[in-house]
Amino acid sequence: MEIQASSALNERNIKRLARKLKGELGIPYNQALEMASRLCGFSNWQHYKNFLNAMPSTISIDTQPLSRLPEPLSIPYQMFPLKGLCKRPNAKMPVEAHFKLATLLLQAIGIASNHKRACKPLGQVRATLDDWVQLEYPTEAELSNQLFANMYFGGGQHHVLTNPTEREKQLFRDNVIQIKSIVCQYYHECQPTKWILDKLTVALVWSETWPKSKPVSNDFRKEASPLQVGTFVRIKKGERLAVVIDYDPVTGIVTCYGHPGRVLAMRFEIVILKEQLKLTEFKPRRLVLPYGVWTFKDGRQILFNRDYFPLWIKEPDGAIHSIDPQERVDKESAITQIFYDGQRLSCENSTKKSSSYRILQEWKVVDRASNLLDRFRLICNPGTTVDLFP
């Protein structure tokens, strides 16, 4: 196991953490000291002492010189529709490291699915890192939309464990410790990094007090949730509006579609709207807003969205009508114009939104529904077998 010298080798930090655990959990100091040692990557307090005695009297700790720290330490940003500004470290983590974090978080969340106090902070960390990676790599050339969509919220499904074993609980702790190590490796010390590390520490603390095992029912129909396809929800992190397009009551995984696109979330990560919207009033921006236009030699023009699905076609005589998203378009023979210079069309960017709506107004299709939008509304009906993407 890799041990961070900057934190784990400091005996004073371990004892300080032990005193904090003693006060918050109301446990004896020696028990808190054992717990603090485990949180820092050791089996127990004696393991730490043995490790310390085996170290040479002088040790060189590779820390980042102050002159190499970026200025400013953190960068403010705003994710629509949050009120106020958030902050992220003024650094760029490699894409490979983000994928490693996503894999570790996915496995840990699956293990702790029935332990909300340990699972909730990991969900908050995952949603925050999802925001950071799209801000660190804002263009298609740096990070393709397919890779971004398959990273933190689309790379796979949680392997949900109803009653994890002691070995699986230890795997949860090892994963969280490894996540902390990767975060410390690529993000310098600043307030946003401290927030991430504090959330991970909370998850580790609660992993020491696992809830009692729950009996597993063989009849999953008795555990069915009233959550149905077509239900409007809000994803807790970011208060993002979305509609349910699939729900598995056995695993608790909900597939939603919102303005940024398809999102996977656990059942406890979403809230059902008290006042349900009409499906005809919901137009996901990723589906309806144009990202570019194909111009053909015969004078035809086709608007397409961020996923390169055709939306509208303008004939040489000026007639405009919707186009079937399954219709084959010879893109190689057309001149492609991208409206946003390779930038990812984010929902929080009001300038890009206004430009997109202006294009729709020029084509006089703002109040019309494309065939792709009709297809989306069809899959939001319970019992449908139509896939959104042809």
Q: What does residue 223 show for φ and ψ, rounded to 5 degrees?
A: -100, 15
pLDDT of residue 40: 67
Q: Answer whether residue 138 shows pLDDT above 60.
A: yes
Quick: pLDDT tens for 304-318. Answer: 988 888 999 999 999
Higher pLDDT, 80 or 356: 356
**Ranges of each domain in the chain:** 1-60, 72-212, 228-281, 285-379
pLDDT, the chain, mean:
79
| CATH fold of 72-212 | Ferritin (1.20.1260)
Q: Hey, do 72-212 and 228-281 end up sharing a CATH topology, with the first three levels equal?
A: no
pLDDT of residue 84: 55
Tell me the C-alpha distance between 308 and 228, whole Å: 29
- Most trustworthy range by pLDDT among 3-17, 59-73, 233-247: 233-247
Please give the structure tokens belonging to residue 375. Answer: 């297809």
- Size of the chain in residues: 390
pLDDT of residue 240: 82
Q: Answer whether residue 99 shows pLDDT above 60.
A: yes
Please give the structure tokens belonging to residue 316. Answer: 């040489």
Mean pLDDT value of segment 22-47 = 77
Of the listed ranges 109-123, 291-305, 376-390, the least confidently predicted one is 376-390
168: burial class by Cβ within 10 Å (0-12, 13-18, 19+)?
A: middle
Answer whether CATH 2.30.30.30 is correct for domain 228-281. yes
Q: Answer whether residue 143 shows pLDDT above 60.
A: yes
Q: Name the pLDDT band for 94 (thresholds 50, 70, 90).
A: very high
Q: Name the pLDDT band for 160 (thresholds 50, 70, 90).
A: low
Q: Answer whether residue 156 shows pLDDT above 60.
A: no
